[in-house]
Amino acid sequence: MILDGKKLKEKKLNILKEETSKLDKKLTLCVIQVGEDTASEIYVNQKKKMADFVGFAFKHIKLKNDVSEDYLLSIIDKENKDDKTTGIIVQMPLPSHINETKIQNAIDYHKDIDGLSDINTGRLVHNRKTLISCTPKGILELLKEYNIKIESKHVVIVGRSNLVGKPLVNLFLNENATVTICHSKTKNLKDYTITADILISAVGKKNLITKDMVKQNAVVIDVGITRENNKLYGDVDFDNVFNKASYITPVPGGVGPMTVTELGYNVLEAYQLRSDANE
């Protein structure tokens, strides 16, 4: 069965729109973009479209590629202090002369809707209420929407990025799953993937996961994206794995739509967390 992220996105954004309309304050999503990266332009437009739909104000701060790190930090500091700004995201990737980790940690953790700061990462590890990275959060929501059991299942994650792989480990541990993480230095990858009840690949390598690497009736979540001849491919050899998996996400239309959806929910959660902190 297909895990339909587009359908769930529509459902969840309608709920978020209704919840947002009940607030006595208009929430503001601030996106800071550096440079003219084509993919970044697409992702920023998706965020604006989501914000417009659910009723957020959208602040787009666009800086030149050669902007200094200090100036970028000053912009973040200004938005941290602005009570009208609910959530802040600095669009990745950044130019090589800017330290991404430093920038991510400059954002007030109450406004860090990407969930990438050390504070929010640490709170996730300790299973405390926090802002969680959007793609991992979206994956969990997708599984829960289709009533896929997580507790006691063996989850194998391929990819250890700060954005997807590492947060997923702690999210699934907090759901009482048994978790194995594989990466570029893992030998004999198939030995691990074939044991997975839930297999997640977040590498960005076309057809990395083939049919012989997947256990019968496994749940397969494909986070990878590769562009080839203006077409998108995932990490999973979808056509051949489809009949072996019990559930599978397509690329596009699976995990991708959930990422921008959860960004919207993180804006609302950022507002609620700050309200709780001020009480």
| 47: annotated active-site residue | yes
Exposure string (b/e) for 82-108, b if CB count within 10 Å is 16 or more?
A: eeebbbbbbbbebbeebeeeebbbbbb
Q: Which of 91, 153, 215, 235 is catalytic?
A: 91
| 114: annotated active-site residue | yes
| Cβ 225 vs Cβ 204: under 8 Å | yes
d(CA 273, CA 186): 38
- Distance of alpha carbon 271 from the chain centroid: 19
d(CA 111, CA 29): 9
The two structure tokens encoding residue 186? 């893992």
Q: Which of 114, 222, 235, 237 is catalytic?
A: 114
| 91: annotated active-site residue | yes
- State the burial class of residue 143 (Cβ atoms within 10 Å of its Cβ: 0-12, 13-18, 19+): buried
247 — phi, psi (to 5°)? -140, 145
Strands 28-34 and 87-90: parallel
d(CA 80, CA 192): 43
Q: Which secondary structure element, helix H or strand E, spans residue 61, and what is its range?
A: strand 57-63
3 state SS of 90: strand
Residue positions annotated with a catalytic role: 47, 91, 114
